[in-house]
Structure 1
Amino acid sequence: MTSTLLIGIGNVLYADEGIGVHFVNYIQEKYQFYHPNITLDLLDGGTLAQGLIPILCRYDNLIVVDTVNSPGVQPGEVYSFNFDQAPPEIDWQGSAHEVEMLQTLIMMEMVGDRPNTHVIGVTPTVIEPMTLGLTPQIQAAVPVMEQALLKHLSLQGFSSKCIAEVDINSLIPDSYKRGANMYA
């Protein structure tokens, strides 16, 4: 039996910076996923980066949802790519945790512990301290991110069932309470 981890990275107290966490919480509330041979866990990874290594190395596949920086593109632009084939315009400089997560994945690769990694990223609009919530541009990107995730999981053989209609904004006020919880 192989395993996949869907992890949301971000600081929910910095507006769009929290999209990874908000998105994983949204997906967890909205869908059930099925695969006969692969388990799928969901995790709010917050800004733990290197602290996540003991968890990340237990998985065969990793899907990271986070902000990504790409100079010259509009906020809300969605990227979906294999970490080993990152588009050249991605510079990983959008936030402090983004650089830490990149360094974490590189360190894991150096010692041979990094799972096969796929990234679903969105360019942020606002990264301001103590701003809970998402800008309209990032809210508009959520369906695109959702379709990218569903397509990626479908290509891995997963089927999905929508179990609830969820507005991502309804989950945001409690995001900070969820912490680094794992959902199976």
Structure 2
Amino acid sequence: MDTDQILVLGIGNLLNTDEGVGVHAVRMMQAQAEAAGGVEGVVLHDGGTLGLNLLPLVEETTHLLILDAVDAGRPPATVVELTKDEIPLYAGIKMSQHQLTFQEVLGLALIRGRLPEYLHLVGLQPVSLEIGTELSPAAADALPRLVERAWRVLSRWGVSVPW
């Protein structure tokens, strides 16, 4: 994997309860990786609501794992996985309040011929998008499952995960 660049990107707004689940997830992964002495070959990045500013990061990676709140019409607090072919690049599943900007990032990367070869999303059907800095109790309970699924994706990509 010497030439592969693996990016785990947690996106979301921490001011809207479950909208921030991607950021909470990547922070949990950062803590787990740090406790294990690091995870080689993986960048764990808090993308917050940076939108188009994330384009260079997206275009420079070969493997992109997105962690986010996903409105996929599933029961609240359900962990949702989407593969590259299932992730809407322009419209479709409403991913979050910042969806258009991040979908534009993916769409622009595609148009420019720089969409990562490997692209996967692990997200959570939000319970609440109200103003608040903490996850809803159900989303907080589901967060470890989301993070475990994210580590599984990385494991499939050949990463030695800290478990």
TM-score range normalised by the length of the shorter chain: 0.7 to 0.9
**Pair 1:24–1:83, CA change in 2 (3 A):** same
State the SS of the aligned residue for 1:159.
coil
Report the identity percentage. 30
Match in the other structure for 1:100: 101
Match in the other structure for 2:135: 134
Measured on the aligned residues, the alpha-carbon RMSD in Å equals: 1.9
**Pair 1:107–1:29, CA change in 2 (3 A):** same
- Superposed CA offset, 1:130-152 (max 9, x none): x1100111112112212211211
Counterpart contact for 2:19–2:97, Cα < 8 Å: no
Rounded to whole Å, the distance in 2 between the matches of 1:158 and 1:82 is 18
Runs (4+) off by over 3 Å: 32-35
Match in the other structure for 1:50: 52
Rounded to whole Å, the distance in 2 between the matches of 1:161 and 1:83 is 25
Counterpart contact for 2:68–2:95, Cα < 8 Å: no
Q: Provide TM-score, normalisation by structure 2.
A: 0.86
Rounded to whole Å, the distance in 2 between the matches of 1:54 and 1:34 is 22
- Gaps (5+ residues) in structure 2? none
State the SS of the aligned residue for 2:19.
helix
**Pair 1:25–1:126, CA change in 2 (3 A):** same
The alignment covers a number of residue pairs equal to 155
- Gaps (5+ residues) in structure 1? 163-184
Match in the other structure for 2:15: 13
Match in the other structure for 1:145: 146
